Structure 1
Amino acid sequence: MNFKSLRSLFALLVLPLVLTSVLAAGLGMSTTAYAADGQTSQQMANAKTSDADLWRAVKAGDSGYTTAQGVEANVLINIAGNQGKDIKNNYLTPAMAFAVLGVFGAFLAFYFVNGPSKLSKGFSGKMVLRWTKADLWIHWVLALSCLGLIFTGLTIMLGKHVLQPYVAEGIWAAMIYGSKTIHDYVGPIFMAAWVLCVVKWMPMQTFKMYDLKWFLVVGGYINFGPFKGKHPDSGFANAGEKMWFWTLTVFGLFICVSGIMLVLPGLDLPREASMAALLIHAISAIIIIAFTIVHIWMATVLSEGGMECMKSGYCDENWAVQHHNLWYDEIKENGSLEYKD
């Protein structure tokens, strides 16, 4: 066998081995690459699942860990805060707008249809003492501070819907900052006057059986139909005034307590407590606003001679007989009837 034959035989034997090794190496590398790719995909899937679980827990309000100090520092998103914000924006803000526009509009329509409640015998010219100087001071401090809180509160709650779109940014910033500042500083004045009002006037505000008739005939304010000229019995305070007093007493208490919780950051309250205070504050404000509008209408426009009571402390004798006959009979009988000089 010559050299060329041996070389050809060697080539025929080695070439399959080389090709087999190359194929085996290629397959091994492919398998390793596929395994690496599979591991990377699994890690990415696990990472995505881990991130999703993390943010799902965050959105659910679960606690984490932080070095920050304070109440609920470990909670990134507070569920109660978001839910309370939705309740305020979706329900309480429209309710406050309705309390202002709806109640005011209803009484305006009633006034145009019915007119004021006139004194059936006209003015007598004799003025009877009804409120002391102390009562007048309490009333007007309470009234003015209440109105201040109402107007600034309406700006805070409704201003972004009815004012902000129509004024410059600088003007709006000054308005909202001023409203918040005034609201915070007028609050204590309202609280003090509210306490004096409740303590001093509560004995005169107990409901009696005859108050039911006052509601049945709408206080004698109707000038048409079967209720025309019906003037129900009433003591020093009529049933409507008593309802206003107890509304102010109960919801004024809610206003005061929730206001203190909101305005004192040093209390360091949980978010749930702060949001509950905000919602209670808003609900109480809506009720007080509605009753305040009713009270102002009834005491001024709808009652001829009614406003004089809170200007001088005296009321016309015929007004006393028509609107508070039981009180007038009582002071006349016990000798405490006092006329203005």
Structure 2
Amino acid sequence: MDGNRIKTFDLNALWRAVALVGFLLAIVLALPGHGNAQQGLAPKAVQSEAPTGGAVPGEALGLTSDTDYWRAVRSGVQGNVSIPDKKAGTLIQSEGEAWRSIRNGPLSLYASWALLGTIVLLGLFYAIRGRIRIEHGPSDKTITRFKAVERFGHWMLAVSFIILGLTGLNVLYGRYVLKPLIGDGAFGFITQVGKYLHNYLAFAFMAGLVMIFVMWVKHNLPDRTDVKWLLQAGGLFSKNLHPPAKKFNAGQKLIFWSVIIGGFSLSLSGWALMFPFTTHFFAGTFGKINMLFGTELPTVLSVLQEQQLNQLWHTVMAIFMVCVILAHIYIGSLGMEGAFDAMGTGEVDLNWAKEHHSLWVEEHQGDIHQGSGDRGTPQPAE
């Protein structure tokens, strides 16, 4: 009997051990990832026919690349949406990071250098040359330089640009320069008021730009007298050396065309910023440049990319214009005796006019008047 009990006990224990091993093996086979490991042992023919959800079998990228895919997504390709907000058609637009880095980095830095450099150069010129005086001294006669309508167009353009320049510089540098001095509240109020002034006075600037172009373009076309004026630097660096000039000399013509071309470009980019996502100036411009010069600039830009390029270009042109106008203000006020009268009263000293615009004086003898008498009565020229 003892032998039979031992055999029965051993048999039962064996079955329990087999059952336990089978249970553990089933658990191991059911663990995640084990099937994938087993799949690696399958024949290649079976692997190639296995469903992959449209992807290349074997976890390969094939002809696609995650890098290329996300580069395309991050480039901000414009899609189509039915809602008015067209920028919603851009899923991801990482150029915003690049735009912010450029605007707050090299653009702000180089712009500050340009402004400071212009002021320093004008200061050095004044220290070396001094104020350009009327060589023969003021006379008792004047000549009509600009009529009332001309002065109106000039001052409308000038005043609007000064306000636009100051409010624009506040947007670029105000938080770093002005905000620490006057506090958050005052800075916020000034910036908000400046925003409205900037938006609405932009139309006065455009109107003034059109006025001076129509009135003065025929006087600012290049001619032979400009060559001699440029070769002598207009007599700015030497006394008793004033090359002949008509109504506008070569230096004034450079200012005029800088203002017209720069102001036109500034107006276009400003218009695009005031009416966002409605223009495609850069895509069209890049296309023309590619056609003319064989370049490969992008011609398909999303509306957000257009706005970012508009803002950067608007800033560049604004800084350029500020530097040009600073030089213009200097030479028309502190830098040259008698120059401000041209846009102040419209009447300039006759000796001043002969020294700087001798050819023009010869053509307008009838506009000479007695300085202290009735300016409506023409006086003979000296």
TM-score (norm 1): 0.85
> Is the alpha carbon distance of 1:65 and 1:285 closer, same or farther for their aligned partners in structure 2, counting shifts above 3 Å?
closer
**Match status 1:121 vs 2:119:** no
- 1:232 aligns to what SS in structure 2? coil
1:318 to 351, 358, 367: 351
**Percent sequence identity over matched residues?**
28
What is the CA deviation profile of residues 198-220 of structure 1, one whole-angstrom value per residue up to 9, with x for unaligned ones? 10111111112221222232221
Paired AA for residue 11 in structure 2? L
For 1:65 and 1:236, locate their aligned partners in 2 and report how far apart those are by CA, in whole Å. Answer: 55
Q: Is the 8 A contact 2:156 2:208 kept in 1?
A: yes
For 1:215 and 1:104, locate their aligned partners in 2 and report how far apart those are by CA, in whole Å. Answer: 23
Q: Is the 8 A contact 1:306 1:315 kept in 2?
A: yes
What is the CA deviation profile of residues 263-288 of structure 1, one whole-angstrom value per residue up to 9, with x for unaligned ones? 12483871122223222222221111
TM-score (norm 2): 0.76
> Is the alpha carbon distance of 1:212 and 1:74 closer, same or farther for their aligned partners in structure 2, counting shifts above 3 Å?
same
Structure 1: runs of 5 or more not aligned? 40-48
Partner residue in 1 for 2:214: 199
Query: 1:136-285, aligned counterparts within 5 Å?
Result: 136-222=151-237, 227-265=238-276, 267=278, 270-285=303-318
> Is the alpha carbon distance of 1:152 and 1:34 closer, same or farther for their aligned partners in structure 2, counting shifts above 3 Å?
closer
Structure 2: runs of 5 or more not aligned? 38-60, 281-302, 375-382
What is the CA deviation profile of residues 215-245 of structure 1, one whole-angstrom value per residue up to 9, with x for unaligned ones? 23222122xxxx4432111111111111111
Partner residue in 1 for 2:379: none
Which one has a larger percent helix, Structure 1 or Structure 2?
1
Q: Is the 8 A contact 2:226 2:250 kept in 1?
A: yes
Could you tell me how far 1:72 is from its partner in structure 2? 3.8
1:296 to 329, 336, 340: 329
RMSD: 2.7
Q: Is the 8 A contact 1:129 1:339 kept in 2?
A: no
> Is the alpha carbon distance of 1:146 and 1:66 closer, same or farther for their aligned partners in structure 2, counting shifts above 3 Å?
closer
Partner residue in 2 for 1:46: none
For 1:306 and 1:63, locate their aligned partners in 2 and report how far apart those are by CA, in whole Å. Answer: 53
1:73 to 69, 88, 95: 88
- 1:73 aligns to what SS in structure 2? helix
> Is the alpha carbon distance of 1:66 and 1:141 closer, same or farther for their aligned partners in structure 2, counting shifts above 3 Å?
closer
Q: Is the 8 A contact 1:233 1:325 kept in 2?
A: yes
